[in-house]
Structure 1
Amino acid sequence: MNVLLVNHFPLEGSGSGIYTKNLAYQLIKKGHNVKVIVPDHTKIEHEKFEVRTIIFNSGKNCSYELDFNFPCFTTHPKSYTTYYELSENQIQRYIDVFKRAIGECIDDFKPDMIHCQHLWIAPYCASKFDIPYVITAHGTDIKGFCKDERYRPYALEGAKKAAGVITISKQVDEDVQKHYGVEPARRKLILNGFDEEIFRPKYVSREDVLSKLHLRPSHKHVVSFVGKLTEFKGVDVLIRAAKIYSQDIDDVVTLIVGNGEQYDELNRLKESLGIENVFFIGHKGQHTVADIYNIADVSVVPSRNEPFGLVAIEALACGTPVVATNQGGLVDFIDDSIGKLVPVDDDISLAEAIVEEIMHDQKAQRRERAASMAARSFSWSRVVDDVLDFYKQLVDNM
């Protein structure tokens, strides 16, 4: 089968980008041919699959197809531009360039199936061609649908004409029916997966990892957060919690991995609270993130709304217990055997859960259970089989 994967975001820096890359790898392992369409600032060359890069203007590159940066629902390491600030003219040019890229790939690659990420612009563009297409709804697209009504006609038409829609959590599945009216026969709940080659338990020296991050190597305990520095991720709640748990636990360091529009605001909050051992270390590659998970006592997902929570799965896959909020997709897989769920916006409960995890008297057993659960339920080998089964089901029903 020839599968054309289309995403609104680059292959690194977002959950859907990582999803696209992992899906491409797994489809190739299964013997299928893959081509990918993604935005970026320079042409992406990849040894395992061909990429049609839509070049956006970063302010530094001289050659581009669109004279603005690629837009996001919240933020991205390579762009703070959002869909909501685009003019009508920019929206139309954005649509035109995706439609053109899809048309070019249909002509030269001749896909049997198009798989779009997000119930957004790409499915609308795919609907203009006589090729069956599937959409994976990731949740941030639904936030965009609710926030900016200008995009709703495109999203609704793309959803209406899709052969099927994959949803990544129970919450997203319910929202897809509620907002887009996609009937159960065209929906398939397939929980997200992680890259087993990167995210796994392994011995790494805490001293070495902290030294490479230019931090004091002798910290006794590590709390990690990985994600975008944006409002719905709840990093401000974690910082307030750090003020509490740093008084209860001796020599604990909190590593905040990621970037976003709240970077300055969150740094000011840290300074106002007088916290010393909270460090913003910026966006890091997946191998470095895996090392950080492996040295962490606990990883934290304090989101106000989290459609799935891939970072939680990746942490668990490394054997790191997770403290997260009790909403969205996180409740589908986190329980007391591998972490804790706490109320949203409750820094006291968050701090107490982090302290309990760090001081737990069965840490080795919890780490083993976390890694085992992730490998059993969220490996990409399982995900790709479910996706291929869905492709076949849809094609057979056409």
Structure 2
Amino acid sequence: MSLEILFWHGYLLRGSGSNVFTLNIVEEFLKENNVYLFSQERNWGGVEDIGSHWVMDADQNLSLETNFKDDGFIGVTPYIGDLLPVFVYDEYDGFKVKTFDNLTDEELERYIDLNVKAMISFLKKNKIDIIYCNHFAIAPYIMKKVQEKTGVPYIVIGHGSSLNYIISRDKRYMNLSYEGFLDSKNVVVQSEYIRDRSCEIYERTEFFRDTRFKIIPSGVNFEQFNRLLKDKEVKNIIEEKVSYSNGPIKKIYDENYEKVKKLKDIEEIKKLLDEGENVIEYRDIDRDLISKLSENLRGEEKILYIGKLIISKGVHILLMSLPYIFQNNPTTNITIVGYGKFRPALEILLRGLIDGNKELLEIIIEKGNYLEEKKHGKLKYLSKFWNSLKECDKLDKYLELAKKIDLDRVVFLGKLDHDTLPHVIKKHSVIVVPSIFPESFGMVSIEGMSQGLVPVVFNHSGLKEVIPFKDSLVNLDGEVVNNLEKVVNLNLEKLGKVPNLNKKFIAESKKYSFESVAKRLLDLR
């Protein structure tokens, strides 16, 4: 029997792990059910499986915005005003953006009230059997208020970002979300780490041992990742996107470096980098992506990073490990996929490293936090590494190694959507996940393993739970730069020596699929 399902995701639908999760679960639910997806997404036309898009106004009147096709899920944009609360600050067109912990009590109350009114209005006119909602902040409490008026049951799906970025810092969300847990049908998380972390953060922990609290690991869209596209098809897709892109281009970062390389003040560096970003849209696809793909995807030893370009994802640690990686593997190619506010700083860091620009590197390492956030601070793991080099009188030798890196072998591809991402993944041999912030689940690792890539993953949180291979884990401590290069070099060496190495990673990835995740979520109802 088919169900009428409402999936509430109060954010956008691209870029983050929970956004990808949402679209894939909705796709699976849709195979045998009718699905309504609540989201603040603005570009619904680019969303796969969308049937129609409806918009609510301030009086909760629902009107059809666009009819895409007869089948597919129904996308609904509820009215929440112009304020979009998020877990990690970024800028989005059409919104005033604030992180949840920076909301005033009045702003939080209004956000909750608008969402509750929108949901109740919709449920009065549409029969819904079950609601699934994402993130502990603040969906459980919203759904509790909705259930009190409508009786519709709800299941909460937790992810790491709201827990670590918001609930750990702001007791308002701890208390309100816990109230929502108590009235829920179930609460689902993706790893033991999230359960343990919840027990550390929350003052009340009884529910996390309740039978209604479930652990269901996330998955991979194998159909999407095993879809074979020819190089020409990928090129056509990218060329169409490039035609209307105002995204980054390598030339901008080359020019930035020439302007920045002699600056000695972090304020001046930030001002210059911000000026460069103001003339582009950093979330758009790179305008020179076609040429970068054709030039970089060559050779056998290719290392891949996929994720946001923000400090917490640890790409700066990967860059600082490159002198040692290239020392052992001079023909290696490094591909960095993703977008984010820290990209300009990463591009400068790489060029400064190759240029041996000691003064600039030290400024970025000791004050680089300011290049992403509004507060000053060091890049702590790089600071420990840098200072250890100076203490052991090894800094000059390190910089000499760095000068041997070929800049053309380290390529920032920028943003890639999932229609072309699998094609790029298949052309690599190692995937690195260097996140220094706790992650609820290792989705990127599994996506890489599904295509036979060797995973190299930092040994913590939900990341390590999906990697049963000791040689793939990197300890996150004061020696993390050296730890990372050793594990990468070890696995690059194994590529040519261990027969059928990729098969064990493909086999391991098969344990995780969105089809099985969706089935387990539906079984809870």
TM norm structure 1: 0.86
Is the 8 Å Cα contact of residues 102 and 125 (structure 1) preserved in structure 2? no
CA deviation profile, 1:145-189 (whole Å, cap 9, x unmatched): 002334333222222222211110110122234425223311111
Aligned to 1:66: 81
Aligned to 2:439: 306
Once the two structures are TM-superposed, the CA of residue 368 in structure 1 deviates from its matched residue by 1.9
Distance 2:344 2:304 in 1: 19
User: Higher Cα Rg: structure 1 or 2?
Assistant: 2
Deviates more, 1:253-262 or 1:146-155: 146-155
Is the 8 Å Cα contact of residues 224 and 256 (structure 1) preserved in structure 2? yes
Alignment size in residue pairs: 377
Output the amino acid matched with 1:41: R
Which SS does the other structure have where 2:223 is aligned?
coil
2:125 pairs with 1:103 = no
Distance 1:22 1:141 in 2: 20
Is the 8 Å Cα contact of residues 296 and 411 (structure 2) preserved in structure 1? no
Aligned to 1:369: 504
Once the two structures are TM-superposed, the CA of residue 341 in structure 1 deviates from its matched residue by 0.5
1:202-217 equivalences in 2 (<5 Å): 212=290, 214-215=292-293, 216-217=295-296
1:176-325 equivalences in 2 (<5 Å): 176-178=198-200, 179=202, 181=205, 182=207, 183-200=209-226, 212=290, 214-215=292-293, 216-217=295-296, 219-220=298-299, 221-274=301-354, 276=407, 277-304=409-436, 305-325=438-458
TM norm structure 2: 0.66
CA 188–218 in structure 1, closer or farther in 2 if over 3 Å, else same: closer
2:156 pairs with 1:135 = yes
CA 385–40 in structure 1, closer or farther in 2 if over 3 Å, else same: closer
Output the amino acid matched with 2:162: D
Distance 1:42 1:381 in 2: 26
Once the two structures are TM-superposed, the CA of residue 212 in structure 1 deviates from its matched residue by 2.4
Distance 2:413 2:98 in 1: 22
1:323-342 equivalences in 2 (<5 Å): 323-336=456-469, 340-342=472-474
1:113-192 equivalences in 2 (<5 Å): 113-128=130-145, 129=147, 130-143=151-164, 144-178=166-200, 179=202, 181=205, 182=207, 183-192=209-218
Distance 1:213 1:225 in 2: 19
Once the two structures are TM-superposed, the CA of residue 217 in structure 1 deviates from its matched residue by 4.3
Once the two structures are TM-superposed, the CA of residue 388 in structure 1 deviates from its matched residue by 1.8
CA 40–201 in structure 1, closer or farther in 2 if over 3 Å, else same: closer
Is the 8 Å Cα contact of residues 139 and 156 (structure 2) preserved in structure 1? no
RMSD: 2.7
Distance 1:205 1:348 in 2: 36
Instruction: Give the share of equivalent positions with the same residue, in percent.
Output: 25
Structure 1: 5+ residue stretches without partners: 56-64, 392-398
Is the 8 Å Cα contact of residues 213 and 281 (structure 1) preserved in structure 2? no
Once the two structures are TM-superposed, the CA of residue 282 in structure 1 deviates from its matched residue by 2.0
CA 124–296 in structure 1, closer or farther in 2 if over 3 Å, else same: same
2:100 pairs with 1:83 = yes
Aligned to 1:58: none
Once the two structures are TM-superposed, the CA of residue 332 in structure 1 deviates from its matched residue by 1.6
Distance 2:90 2:18 in 1: 11
Distance 2:450 2:98 in 1: 32
Which SS does the other structure have where 2:467 is aligned?
coil
Distance 1:137 1:241 in 2: 33
Aligned to 2:24: 22
Distance 1:211 1:238 in 2: 22
2:520 pairs with 1:386 = yes
Which SS does the other structure have where 2:225 is aligned?
coil
2:489 pairs with 1:355 = yes
Output the amino acid matched with 2:410: V
Is the 8 Å Cα contact of residues 35 and 109 (structure 1) preserved in structure 2? no
CA deviation profile, 1:302-353 (whole Å, cap 9, x unmatched): 112222121111111122111001111122221338x600111511121122
Distance 1:28 1:281 in 2: 33
CA 88–78 in structure 1, closer or farther in 2 if over 3 Å, else same: same
1:5-16 equivalences in 2 (<5 Å): 5-16=7-18
Distance 1:242 1:205 in 2: 29
